[in-house]
Amino acid sequence: MGRGAWARGLLAAAVAAGAGRPAPAQAVPLAFLPPRLGGDVSYTLTETRTGGEATSARSLVGTVRARTRGVYRAPWFATLDAEVALSLIRASSDESENTGEAVTGRLGLDVFPQSRFPFRLVAERRDTRTEQDATATQDTVITRLEVQQQYATPDQRTRLSGLAWTQVTEEAVEGDEDVERVVELTWQRSLETQSLGATLSLDRTRRRNTGERDEDTLLQAHHLWRPAESRWSVTTQGNAGREETVTEEGGVAVLRFREVRQLTVAAIRQAVREQPLTLTLSGRVHDTELGTDGETLTTGGFALLGGARYQPEGPWTVTGFVSAVRNEDDGSTRDENSQSVDVDYSPAALELGPWRYSWNAGTGLGRRDPGFGDAVFEERLSLGHALRRAFATSRDSRLELSLTQRGSVLGRQGGGTDVRGQELDSTEWTLLHHAGLGWVQERAPLRRSVNLSLSDSRTITGGDEEEFFQQGNLQLAFGRGLAAGRGLSGSLTLQATRQRDEETGRVTTDTSSSGSVTYTDGRFLGVGGMRFSSTLSLASEELVPALPKEGEDNTLSWENRLDYRIGRLDTQARLTYSERSDAEGTWVFFFTVRRSFGAL
């Protein structure tokens, strides 16, 4: 046996072992499936008219495609997918007319796709002139090249995704070129046992556009420790990253960067029925640097948090919370801390005939030290109740009524004012009322619904300063199925709000209304494969859209769409009209027809 044959046999055996497949007894040459040929011809027309000005654009595109799939030795060894297309384009508008051609395609190569070290190469070229997109505003050629290599150890605990290089080039048919290059390296190591889990990953990304370069590096670590037969679990998570951006400003390269480092440790004790106490302890340390060439701003600090929740079987719930936070901002330091405890009582709802009544109450104490001025002591008390009833008005309709009332009082004791200028020695009363009424009827093929909600919220501070927010909302909706796949649906929403501004004391009233009606026909004019839809939408800042005030923002839109497909022929037509109260209406007509052929 010659050296060449011996080396080829050894390589085939090694490749088969790495891919988890037995070595082939006989080498299979590179083979391609018979290529499939196909293509399409499409015509697109767009007409736009605003006021007395009209513009139009037309394009005729003919495309021939060829697609094939190749296999080298075996599908587990290497596969190749290729597609190439040649398009002839004739485009014209009111200002210009041009004829050209476009070569597009895609090539995908996978080596050892089922192994622990798959390799992938993708090359793609697109041209927006060959794509049916009514919203495209510029003709662009997009080229993408991607190379990716992955690796995993036999136990699957260590993974490497590296050499992932991607380049995307966007080049206007008549204009500049924009290039973006991305190089990304990801390494991940995981360890899992019955009580231990850990993950370590590294990501590095590099992007380069015309006149700009970005580089991102991120290191992440996650560790979970859960002892056997214990309700405690400890989680540790850390990350460190750096982001760099280099831009050209006035012919000079300017560097901007951001570095973030953070470490968080959290311990949680889960509650069980015998011991209904949940404990949470966590700590976080963070540090951030922002800067440019020669200038750096550093911020950081730490936070210690603790919480407890005791919820036995019954209506009582007790929660407590403590925190200590230090913030460091470019040399200055500020310490904050707070403590609070709350008790809630929520008994089971009472069934009073057809009515369902529920109530709850709560109280709490707290202390806050914002790091400047005096500490603030808080006392909280709340009480709320709700009444609900649902009853049938007929065999196919029902009515639901809900009434809710909630009040709370918050007392503060401290010196001076807070950051909003509010007196720390004050008592704040809040009262909320809400009423909701809903009606639904489902009588095939008709469905109707009406929902009305009214709410009033008032806050009194210092005895005479009152803030309030009132809202009324009415929603109507219907849907009706018609014969032969047709349907009609619509909705209407009316809303009004009234509130007192916290800073100026002014009372403002806002109103709005919106509605839409949609008609659909899945077999338009009795023709199979033809679908039509029409939607009329209106939005206004007035409750009565027919009586708009001067200066109000009102919008009107009407969209009609017709789709027809028979065999290989696809046709779409859209006619839309949109209008705003401060601008002239715009008509847009879009039509496209596409005929495909071949075996694709």
561-599 tens-digit pLDDT:
999 999 889 999 999 999 887 777 899 999 999 998 887
CB contact at 8 A, 342 and 380: yes
pLDDT-derived band of residue 174, with 50, 70 and 90 as boundaries? low
Nearest one of 118, 120, 116 to 80, comparing CA atoms: 120
Instruction: Name the more confident of 360 and 230.
Output: 360
Are the CB atoms for 157 and 189 separated by under 8 Å? yes
CA distance 340 to 369: 12
pLDDT at 29 over 50: yes
Residue 162's pLDDT band (boundaries 50, 70, 90)? low
| CA–CA separation, 104 and 143 (whole Å) | 9
Q: Which region among 7-16, 202-211, 291-300, 571-580 has the lowest average model confidence (pLDDT)? A: 7-16
Name the pLDDT band for 420 (thresholds 50, 70, 90). Answer: low
Percent of the chain with pLDDT over 90: 38
Average pLDDT rounded to a whole number, residues 440-468: 87
- The identity of residue 265, as a single letter, is V
Strands 530-540 and 507-521: antiparallel
Per the CB < 8 A criterion, the answer to whether 513 and 494 are in contact is: yes
Say what the pLDDT of residue 463 is: 58
HSE-CB of 336 using CA atoms within 13 angstroms: 10
Find where tokens 């590294």 sit: 202
Helices (H) and strands (E) in the chain, counts: 1, 30
CA 61 – CA 593 distance, rounded (Å): 11
Quick one: residue 25, left, alpha or beta (phi over 0 = left, psi -120 to 50 = alpha)?
A: alpha
For residue 263, what are its two tokens? 């470490």
Q: Give the amino acid at 342.
A: D
Stronger pLDDT, 425 or 109, i.e. the higher one: 109
Using alpha carbons, select from 443, 517, 523 the residue that is nearest to residue 483: 523
- pLDDT recorded at residue 422: 58
pLDDT score of 417:
60
- Given a cut of 50, whether residue 13 has pLDDT beyond it is no
- Output the pLDDT for position 3: 41
Contact yes or no for 134/119 (Cβ under 8 A) = no
Show Cβ contacts of residue 577 under 8 Å, excluding neighbours closer than 6 positions.
556, 557, 558, 559, 585, 586, 587, 588
* % of residues, the chain, pLDDT over 70: 84
Of 283 and 394, more confident: 283
- For strand 555-566 and strand 586-598, is the pairing parallel, antiparallel, or unpaired? unpaired
Average of per-residue pLDDT values in the chain: 83
| Structure confidence by residue, pLDDT tens digits, 474-533 | 999 999 998 878 999 999 999 999 998 766 778 889 999 999 999 999 989 888 889 999
